[in-house]
């Protein structure tokens, strides 16, 4: 299999995240953004950057605390939803199209740099961390939340990643959920990352109901269903169903999944 370049990956990601209905997925992970913003202890007047903001989960929470917030994302198609949410909530977020691996801001631009389940998809971890550190002012904070490798969500994403051949190139979003890896990444900049683990619970009427929800709304699953050969998609869907069934916390026919995620806080 030929090597996929980082630029090709990011081009594909933009198309993937623009498909489906990401705002529905964002609601499932809102708790993680709440805990992340609380961990960063954002105060009024602080300059905050939310990297891979999506539909604005973390950015809007930071704005509600009185911060001056910029949300950046590779997929501007999501901004219309973020703006509508901001209008309903009476907040303001400046939205910028950009790449986590090449942030379009000067050095030391922000007091706080956030990312809730976003930077984990950037193909080059070292490059991304260097950019997060660069745009954070000395004395500021960097806070990120990402799925752990053993979480239901993390294992699901890894299965989808495998189907696109990305795991063969050591591009794994869940590496961001490994505390040793996160500490290593920031240690290369002489920074210490403190980590804690949070947990989100999802409930669906059944495994099939969950599979159908993600195939309609989650861009990665929708793209896999649309682009994979039928026999490969059928096998992948079966593997995902077995994964969810094996991790089910319910015994009454419903599907209850618990997802651990790593919260990391770095003082610049």
Q: For residue 255, what are the β-bridge partners?
A: 204
The verdict on residue 34 lying in a domain is yes
- Going residue by residue through the chain, which has 268 residues, state the pLDDT in tens, using 9 for 90 and above: 467 788 888 888 888 888 889 999 999 999 999 999 999 999 999 999 999 999 999 999 999 999 999 999 999 999 999 999 999 998 899 999 999 999 999 999 999 999 999 999 999 999 999 999 999 999 999 999 999 999 999 999 999 988 877 654 556 889 999 999 999 999 999 999 999 999 999 999 999 999 999 999 999 999 999 999 999 999 999 999 999 999 999 999 999 999 999 999 999 9
Range of the domain at 59: 6-150+169-202+256-267
Q: Is residue 222 part of a domain?
A: no
Residue 156 falls inside a structural domain: no
Any domain includes 234: no
User: Contacts for 124-131 with beta carbons within 8 Å, 24 or more apart?
Assistant: 124/6, 125/175, 125/176, 125/181, 125/185, 126/185, 126/188, 127/101, 128/100, 128/101, 129/185, 129/186, 129/188, 129/189, 130/189, 131/100, 131/101, 131/102, 131/103
Amino acid 28: pLDDT? 96
187 within some domain = yes
What total of structural domains would you count in the chain? 1
* 227 falls within a domain: no
Quote the pTM value. 0.94
CATH of the domain at 124: 3.40.50.150
User: Is 198 inside a domain boundary?
Assistant: yes
- The reply to whether 49 falls in a domain is yes
- Give me the pLDDT at residue 258, please: 95
User: Quick one: pLDDT at residue 100?
Assistant: 97
What's residue 1's pLDDT? 47
- Predicted local confidence at residue 232, as pLDDT: 94
């Amino acid at each position: 299999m030929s090597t996929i370049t980082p630029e090709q990956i990011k081009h594909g990601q933009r198309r993937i995240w623009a498909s489906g209905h990401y705002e529905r997925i964002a609601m499932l992970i809102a708790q993680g953004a709440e805990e992340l913003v609380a961990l960063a202890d954002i105060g009024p007047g602080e300059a905050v950057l939310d990297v891979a903001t999506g539909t604005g989960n973390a950015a809007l929470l930071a704005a509600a605390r009185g911060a001056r917030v910029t949300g950046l994302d590779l997929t501007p198609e999501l901004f219309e939803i973020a703006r509508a949410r901001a209008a309903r909530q009476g907040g303001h977020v400046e939205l910028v199209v950009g790449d986590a691996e090449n942030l379009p801001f000067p050095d030391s631009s922000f007091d706080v740099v956030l990312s809730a389940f976003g930077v984990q998809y950037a193909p080059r971890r070292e490059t991304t961390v260097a950019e997060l550190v660069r745009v954070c002012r000395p004395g500021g904070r960097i806070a990120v939340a990402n799925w752990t490798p053993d979480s239901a969500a993390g294992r699901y994403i890894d299965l989808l990643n495998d189907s696109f051949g990305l795991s063969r190139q050591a591009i794994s979003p869940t590496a961001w959920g490994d505390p040793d890896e996160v500490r290593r990444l920031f240690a290369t900049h002489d920074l210490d990352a403190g980590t804690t683990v949070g947990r989100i619970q999802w409930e669906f009427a059944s495994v099939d109901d969950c599979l159908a929800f993600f195939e309609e709304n989650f861009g990665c699953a929708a793209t896999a269903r649309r682009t994979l050969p039928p026999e490969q998609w059928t096998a992948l869907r079966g593997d995902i169903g077995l994964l969810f069934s094996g991790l089910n916390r319910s015994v009454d026919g419903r599907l209850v999944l618990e997802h651990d995620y790593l919260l990391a806080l770095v003082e610049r």
